[in-house]
Structure 1
Amino acid sequence: MKKRYTLDALFIGLAVGILAAFGLLFGVFDTWSHSTTDRFFLPHATDPKTVIVAIDDASLARIGRWPWDRSVQGDLVQRLTEGGAKVIALDVNFPEVSTAREDAALAQAIKDSGHVVLPLELSLELHNQKLTFDASKSVQPIAEIQRMAKRVGFSNTPLDADGVVRRIPLTVSGKSGGTVESFAYAAAELAGRAPDRNEIPTDAFGRVIVNFPGSSGKAFPFVSAADVLEGKADMSQFVGTTVFIGATAADLHDAQNTATSRNQPMSGIEIHASLYDTLVNHRWLVEVSKLWQALALLLAGLLLGLVIPRSRARSGALLAFSLWFGWVLAAFLAFDRGWILDIVWPTLLIIFTYAALLLERWISTERERRKIRSAFSQYVSVSVVEAIMKNIDRLKLGGDRRNMSVLFSDIRGFTSLSEGMAPEALVELLNKYLDKMTDIVFEEGGVLDKYIGDAIMAFWNAPFDQSDHAMRSVRAAIRMQDRLEEMNREGSFAKGLQLKIGIGINTGEMIVGNIGGERRYDYTVIGDSVNLASRTEGLCKEYGVEIIITKHTRDELDETIVTRQLDTVAVKGKKEPVAIYEVMGLVSNIDDARQKLATEFDKAMEQYFERNFEEAARLCEQILLVWPEDMPAKHLKNRCEIYQTTPPPVDWNGAWVMTKK
């Protein structure tokens, strides 16, 4: 009996080892592996001859709103050239013609410098297991400027499957011929410091792993572009250096998550500088052959199957832990020497082998069920989870077209709020806020689609029918605003913070279901109606109100909800206008004065749509005498005054075209 038990244990260890080996070889959980390996990055010194000139928030405040005149950017290049910069990598594309004078000024500065690298943006595609690009789809500087540059290189920083930049192609070949090198490699070549391409370790797609020297904004010396332009920078620091110029200001949205981001995206120019540092200092990172790692997994499985049955529970657990710790330590030391060892599959191997030997195979099944339950419990109510668990087929990929209501909410001023808070305090605030708002969504029978930073996305009428889904979504929005007011009054947030949110709702046809890949998918909604809801939420700030719904949603409400029409708009990205309404509250909860405000404002809107702009403005003035802070009335009054001076065209349909999200 004991011999049979030992043989079974060896078989289990071998079987799990084989599974782990195949999982490793075929790239299952590669995203997890990469994410875990990211934790091995430690700060290291960067090349002393690399400097970043940042187009940062201070530069925008002092020099002016982006984009700057090209003569200003030419002046920046000229000053760095005169300061002794050896190479200037200017990560700013100029795909459109400006004025002849401005274009000529920048072109001349680049020409006079003689050592400027400019970026191209390629449309990368996977073709025959190789990354290629279609030259006709590339975005590049105009010829007048580009031909003055000494080098050009593509500035693309492709994302891994989990949205993180870890690998960047060294060169990419065009479908119709020709090769373009990366922006960082072009800079290294111009600096005379580029290693031979045959020396650089790349993967099957020609990508090199970036050895990031530190977290965002902490590895390289940064100099504000404004300081250079205004003559406040110490120009001696640029002598003999490779200078990377690029955007770091948050509003310019040139940042991505990297292996060292730690939830703080890294600017694109710092990513390029990090690849440059990797190249010129030969700081290679190479994945250890998966065949050797797979063999080690097989041996580890056999070792566990041989030793654990002969050990007591505590000794077996200690052995499993020691084996895991030894592997992680080896992986860490190997990483420090430029070799990447997977630690996800060894961890899984040890856990599952130990569990199978001690608790029988059925635990694996129960573990999987708990995993599914845990995942779905994050965004649906308990009743929905139980219904799904009774029919696992709901987890299959695919979707249904349904008439639904979708809600988006967003904290006002969250970016500036988060900048002034410690990360721990910010997370605590968000958790407290999101917890209460999510409870309301669930209580109204909604599905939490996802959190998008501080934003909440939820929907109704799936996976089960809800004939009153529009009412449920609007009630949820009103309750969310009421609950937030209570939390503000109660001082629920640190330092007496008073949060405000905007909420947008739309009703219409959309696709709902499990959308994604076989390994990773989300129960979510997609479609134009979803996009319209998102745009609607963005209008709250524009009109100074808390809840905005579209006409599609309002048409499905009953008389218990008080609304007033704010406008008819064509949101950005949409041609067809839609009427939008402010939700003022439940009839039972608002006083006569607010009821009258809604009625009087509707009268003003009627005059506005009939082109009686003078009368509409007069009605708004009367409203403002009673409600001086009413933003919709101010907004409408100002527009009417504009139209009195400059009337809209004869075929005007009352719609206002929005030019921003």
Structure 2
Amino acid sequence: MNKSRLFAILFGLVLVAGLAGLRAQNGFAVKTLRNLVFDQYQRLSPRKPQRQPVRVIDIDEASLKIMGQFPWPRIEFAKLADRLTELGAAAIAFDILFSEPDRLSPSALLNRSDLKSWLKAKGKDGASSLPDNDRIFAQAISRAPVVIGFGTIQSGQNTAPPLKAGFAFTGKDTLSALPQFESSTPILPGLEKAAAGIGSISLSPHGTSDVVRKIPLMWGHGNKAWPGLALEALRLAQGASTFIVQGASDTPGIVQGIRAGAFDIDTNEHGELWLHFRKDDPALYVPAYKLLRAGKADDARLRKLIEGHIVLVGTSATGLLDIRTTALGETVPGISIHAQALEQILAQDFLWRPDWVNGAELLLVIVLGVLFVLSATLLAPVVSLSAGAAVAVLIGAGSWYGFSRYGFLFDPAFALFTGLVVHFTMTAYRYLITEREARFVRMAFSRYVSPAVLEEIEDKPDMLQLGGNTRDLTVMFVDVRNFTPLSESLEPQALVAFLNRLLDELSACVVDERGTIDKYIGDSIMAFWNAPLEIENHEERACRAALRMRQKMAQLNDDDAFGFHAAGYDFARIAIGVGINTGPAVAG
């Protein structure tokens, strides 16, 4: 291997090392590229709809139009909880924050100072005898398996709601792997105490409204953990008391899965569930007003939709600002994200991306990068590109097959990006550096050797050895007879023109017979055969070149190509002498 190719390979390996370092950092650009690939996979193969016992009670635009603007009086939520309990809901989860007392409660209204003064003037004390909507709502949820939601906050006063569920951890330091929160939105004490379950409604540990691709099933705070809304609803629906968080036995700070009652859940290393979305289905939703304004005649139809189902209460109304974007590119209510998570768990249909995949993807970047360096350096550009394209197709197809068949999330994007960058960088380098050498060879030899020999030299540059080697050469010397009196008779410009024409014509005879021009010495030419490349029958070719020169000189003289006859010079016909010898010599 010549030095230029070795240097090209070293340059390529440095480039691969830089790209591998970029992948190892797993920064924003890498994650963005990965997410785009996984989103495209989901759009090509969304989760197939499967009827699961999950239902969403939707506070939609129609419900707001019929029932009035939001927030509704808490007594309406009490009625909703009672109605769902009557219809046989397995569990009820509210994707709504109940942080402040109901301002529309009669008791709250009569606590206003202006109304108090008026009642006192009338000799009445109505506040103590009027109903309290929050108390009524608390009584309603105490009679049912209800989950109240709280929001996670990444700053604040280090507060957290009470725990309703038990937790058991396996592995090393598993709790630290969960997404952490600093504080939480408050829940009214009466509701907090009455609820059978409490779960987080937050969909991201970063508090962003970006595309939702995965959600935390659990959250950590201090030395305790809290379930997400969907997971807590699943626990209550089964009547379970404890979650089991499974960690790695040999590596601290990694979650391998969660067990909720009878269901095992595949998660990533942070206890997050990768969501495999199906297209949004209107059949999932029941408008809230249909429950709150329906008569007994509607019970049979509604019971089919509610009985035995985990029921999530949330909103799709645009003005209530709980609209999210899924990996499918759809905008859906936030409550439907929790519903889809429950559907996946119930169907045991998971996307999985084990913690070792990052290392495997990094290894692929390195291996693929090295292969592309070698192919771009050692193979012809077209062959290298074809081989690289074939490898890229195989990797992409393998990744897609793993997703579509097994739900396996393997990111080929950065490895393919590395291959693309390496291939075109190495091709450009090869053109600028390696091809520059070929151009140098062409420029250096084009005037001295035949095109066929030059092509061989370009194809086999390693045959040109510094220091030379000993081989049999055929050497030719050619000069002009009586050149001294001729040169003394001509003007310098005419002499130069004569020599240029003569030497060009004679040099062509050498080159046509695959000879190499060594040098021009005044009116003389030194040429040789069998170097820098071996030439078969080099002695014969040298003799043929001499005969060609004789024929060429006769033609030039007959045509008065130099104009000497027309100018009346005595040396109208030019003669040359040719000497040829064959023997060992050092060539190089």
TM-score range, shorter chain: 0.5 to 0.7
CA distance in 2, matches of 1:8, 1:222: 65
Aligned to 2:219: 172
Instruction: Identify if the C-alpha distance between structure 1 residues 327 and 12 changes in structure 2 by more than 3 Å, giving closer, same or farther.
Output: farther
Aligned to 1:413: none
Q: Please show how residues 10-25 of structure 1 align to structure 2 within 5 Å.
A: 10-25=9-24
CA distance in 2, matches of 1:219, 1:292: 40
Aligned to 2:327: 259
Unaligned runs of 5+ residues in structure 2 are 106-130, 159-175, 247-256, 259-265, 433-588
Instruction: Identify if the C-alpha distance between structure 1 residues 193 and 209 changes in structure 2 by more than 3 Å, giving closer, same or farther.
Output: farther
Matched residue type, 1:109: A
CA distance in 1, matches of 2:272, 2:177: 16
Aligned to 1:228: 291
CA distance in 2, matches of 1:93, 1:299: 51
Aligned to 1:298: 366
CA distance in 1, matches of 2:65, 2:201: 26
Question: Percent identity over the alignment?
Answer: 22
Aligned to 1:36: 37
Aligned to 1:188: 234
Q: Please show how residues 56-67 of structure 1 align to structure 2 within 5 Å.
A: 56-67=60-71
Instruction: Identify if the C-alpha distance between structure 1 residues 211 and 254 changes in structure 2 by more than 3 Å, giving closer, same or farther.
Output: same
SS at match of 2:32: helix
SS at match of 2:348: coil
For the 8 Å contact 1:55–1:246, the answer to whether it is kept is yes
CA distance in 2, matches of 1:36, 1:250: 29
Matched residue type, 1:218: D
Q: Which shows bigger deviation, 141-150 or 311-320?
A: 311-320
Deviations 1:463-519 (A, max 9, x none): xxxxxxxxxxxxxxxxxxxxxxxxxxxxxxxxxxxxxxxxxxxxxxxxxxxxxxxxx
Which one of the candidate residues 208, 211, 218 is aligned to 2:281?
218
Instruction: Identify if the C-alpha distance between structure 1 residues 229 and 295 changes in structure 2 by more than 3 Å, giving closer, same or farther.
Output: same
Aligned to 1:354: 423
1:138 has 2:202 as partner: no
For the 8 Å contact 1:14–1:302, the answer to whether it is kept is yes
Deviations 1:339-373 (A, max 9, x none): 2112331121121011112112999xxxxxxxxxx
Aligned to 1:82: 86
Structure 1 residue 130, shift from structure 2 partner: 6.0
Q: Please show how residues 219-618 of structure 1 align to structure 2 within 5 Å.
A: 221-231=284-294, 234-260=302-328, 262=329, 264-288=330-354, 289=356, 290-336=358-404, 337-360=406-429
Deviations 1:134-175 (A, max 9, x none): 4xx421331112222110111111166882333332322323
Aligned to 1:381: none
Structure 1 residue 183, shift from structure 2 partner: 0.9
Aligned to 1:73: 77
Structure 1 residue 45, shift from structure 2 partner: 2.6
Deviations 1:315-356 (A, max 9, x none): 433332222222222222222313211233112112101111
1:121 has 2:151 as partner: yes
Matched residue type, 2:272: V
1:163 has 2:216 as partner: no
Instruction: Identify if the C-alpha distance between structure 1 residues 39 and 220 changes in structure 2 by more than 3 Å, giving closer, same or farther.
Output: farther
SS at match of 1:339: coil
SS at match of 2:65: helix
Q: Which shows bigger deviation, 17-26 or 238-247?
A: 17-26
For the 8 Å contact 1:125–1:132, the answer to whether it is kept is no
Instruction: Identify if the C-alpha distance between structure 1 residues 358 and 210 changes in structure 2 by more than 3 Å, giving closer, same or farther.
Output: same
Aligned to 1:461: none
TM norm structure 2: 0.55
Deviations 1:414-440 (A, max 9, x none): xxxxxxxxxxxxxxxxxxxxxxxxxxx
For the 8 Å contact 2:277–2:340, the answer to whether it is kept is yes
For the 8 Å contact 1:247–1:269, the answer to whether it is kept is yes
CA distance in 2, matches of 1:124, 1:276: 26
Aligned to 1:587: none
For the 8 Å contact 1:154–1:180, the answer to whether it is kept is yes
Structure 1 residue 310, shift from structure 2 partner: 4.5
Deviations 1:241-282 (A, max 9, x none): 11111011111111223323x1x4332111111222333333
Deviations 1:508-531 (A, max 9, x none): xxxxxxxxxxxxxxxxxxxxxxxx
CA distance in 2, matches of 1:338, 1:192: 27
TM norm structure 1: 0.49
CA distance in 2, matches of 1:36, 1:202: 20
SS at match of 2:35: helix
For the 8 Å contact 1:165–1:259, the answer to whether it is kept is yes
Instruction: Identify if the C-alpha distance between structure 1 residues 11 and 279 changes in structure 2 by more than 3 Å, giving closer, same or farther.
Output: farther
Instruction: Identify if the C-alpha distance between structure 1 residues 180 and 140 changes in structure 2 by more than 3 Å, giving closer, same or farther.
Output: same
Structure 1 residue 58, shift from structure 2 partner: 1.3
CA distance in 2, matches of 1:159, 1:258: 17
Matched residue type, 1:132: Q
Instruction: Identify if the C-alpha distance between structure 1 residues 333 and 304 changes in structure 2 by more than 3 Å, giving closer, same or farther.
Output: same
CA distance in 1, matches of 2:276, 2:349: 9
Structure 1 residue 16, shift from structure 2 partner: 3.6
CA distance in 2, matches of 1:325, 1:316: 14
CA distance in 1, matches of 2:326, 2:378: 45
CA distance in 1, matches of 2:282, 2:19: 37
CA distance in 2, matches of 1:193, 1:35: 39
CA distance in 2, matches of 1:111, 1:158: 29
CA distance in 2, matches of 1:322, 1:210: 31
Structure 1 residue 66, shift from structure 2 partner: 0.9
Instruction: Identify if the C-alpha distance between structure 1 residues 342 and 118 changes in structure 2 by more than 3 Å, giving closer, same or farther.
Output: same
Q: Which shows bigger deviation, 141-150 or 119-128?
A: 119-128
For the 8 Å contact 2:58–2:314, the answer to whether it is kept is yes
CA distance in 2, matches of 1:104, 1:162: 34
For the 8 Å contact 2:212–2:327, the answer to whether it is kept is yes
Instruction: Tell me how many residue pairs correspond in the alignment.
Output: 354
CA distance in 2, matches of 1:278, 1:286: 12
For the 8 Å contact 2:152–2:185, the answer to whether it is kept is yes
CA distance in 2, matches of 1:150, 1:107: 11
CA distance in 1, matches of 2:396, 2:225: 40
CA distance in 2, matches of 1:3, 1:191: 72
Deviations 1:526-578 (A, max 9, x none): xxxxxxxxxxxxxxxxxxxxxxxxxxxxxxxxxxxxxxxxxxxxxxxxxxxxx
Structure 1 residue 47, shift from structure 2 partner: 5.1
SS at match of 1:275: helix
SS at match of 2:185: coil
Instruction: Identify if the C-alpha distance between structure 1 residues 257 and 12 changes in structure 2 by more than 3 Å, giving closer, same or farther.
Output: farther
Which one of the candidate residues 109, 125, 134 is aligned to 2:140?
109
CA distance in 2, matches of 1:220, 1:362: 61
Aligned to 1:7: 6
CA distance in 2, matches of 1:308, 1:361: 8
Unaligned runs of 5+ residues in structure 1 are 364-661
SS at match of 2:132: helix
**Higher relative contact order (CA closer than 8 Å, sequence separation 6+):** 2
Structure 1 residue 3, shift from structure 2 partner: 4.0
Structure 1 residue 35, shift from structure 2 partner: 2.8
Instruction: Identify if the C-alpha distance between structure 1 residues 159 and 36 changes in structure 2 by more than 3 Å, giving closer, same or farther.
Output: farther
Superposed CA RMSD in Å reads 3.0
